Amino acid sequence: MDVKSYHITKTFARMDMQKLIRFLIYGEESKTQDNTTPYSERLDKASEPIYNRIYSLYPNAKDATEPCNELSHALSTFQEVYFEIGMKAGARLLYQLMMEDEKQPAKPTE
């Protein structure tokens, strides 16, 4: 494998969506995270502590409904906002990639 191919292979090996997300949002560059865990497990693991806290404050399920609904509404709003930001970020990156292609001289076809 030549040096150029090796460099390209290593570049693709470093591509990781979670690292890119953490870098863009938090400026983190090298923290590792298990991104092979299924989404449902990641969501359950992340939400369990807060729902346990709510249910400890409101042992009666009826009393816990309103705080759970308020939390769900807040999280849904965060999700919508960050999804929109993510879509805009993706569009900007795509635009930049397309503009770079426009700057490159066309290769002659034979």
Give the model's pLDDT for residue 31. 54
The mean pLDDT of the chain is: 83
**Biggest distance spanned by C-alpha atoms of the chain:** 76
Better pLDDT: 12 or 49? 49
Q: Tokens 């705080």 correspond to what residue?
A: 67
Share of residues in the chain with pLDDT > 90 (%): 38
First to last CA, the chain: 27
For the segment 8-21, what is each residue's pLDDT rounded down to a tens digit? 777 777 777 777 77
Q: Is residue 66 part of a domain?
A: yes
Give the model's pLDDT for residue 12. 72
Q: Is the pLDDT score of 71 beyond 90? A: yes
Give the residue-averaged pLDDT of 64-93. Answer: 92
Q: Are residues 61 and 85 in the same domain?
A: yes
Q: Are residues 29 and 81 in the same domain?
A: no
Q: Are residues 29 and 66 in the same domain?
A: no
Q: Is residue 1 part of a domain?
A: yes
Q: Is residue 12 part of a domain?
A: yes
Q: Are residues 96 and 82 in the same domain?
A: yes
Helices (H) and strands (E) counted in the chain, each on its own, are 4, 0
Q: Is residue 60 part of a domain?
A: yes
Query: Contact 98/84 with Cβ under 8 angstroms?
Result: no
Q: Are residues 30 and 42 in the same domain?
A: no
Domain count, the chain: 2
Query: Contact 95/87 with Cβ under 8 angstroms?
Result: no
Rounded-to-integer distance, Cα 92 and Cα 77, Å: 23
Domain that holds residue 50: 37-103
Q: Are residues 42 and 96 in the same domain?
A: yes
